[in-house]
Amino acid sequence: MTGTGGPSTDVDRVGLAVGEHVRFRRRPAARWTTGVVERLERDGSVGLRDPKGAAVAITVERIEVQREGPRGGSVWEPLTARLARNEQLRLL
């Protein structure tokens, strides 16, 4: 837990929620792995649990989140795209 707001408000800053399922790559060329969001780390990376239960810290650039696609299906988008969109909405 970092900051004064607790883990759920910390991950809110990067557009995530505790318990949200995401996919990530440990290295840029690695396969996608699913994980569950747990916290925001002090260095700004996201603390996740991988399918084996291990704790991992992954940078925002290597995380994708699920969202509804144009035809109602589920698609993956980079977390950085979600952050950019949310930042634009706050400006309005």
Q: What is the pTM of this model?
A: 0.81
For residue 1, is pLDDT > 50?
Answer: no
Distance (Å, rounded) from C-alpha 89 to C-alpha 92?
6
Fold of 7-91: SH3 type barrels. (2.30.30)
Average pLDDT over residues 59-84: 92
Q: Where does the pLDDT of residue 9 fall: very low under 50, low under 70, confident under 90, or very high at 90 and above?
A: low
For residue 92, is pLDDT > 50?
Answer: no
Tally of CA atoms within 13 A in the half-sphere of 30 that contains its CB: 12
Which residues lie across from 80 on neighbouring strands? Answer: none
Could you give the percent of the chain with pLDDT greater than 90?
61
Please report the pLDDT score of residue 87 as a whole number.
59
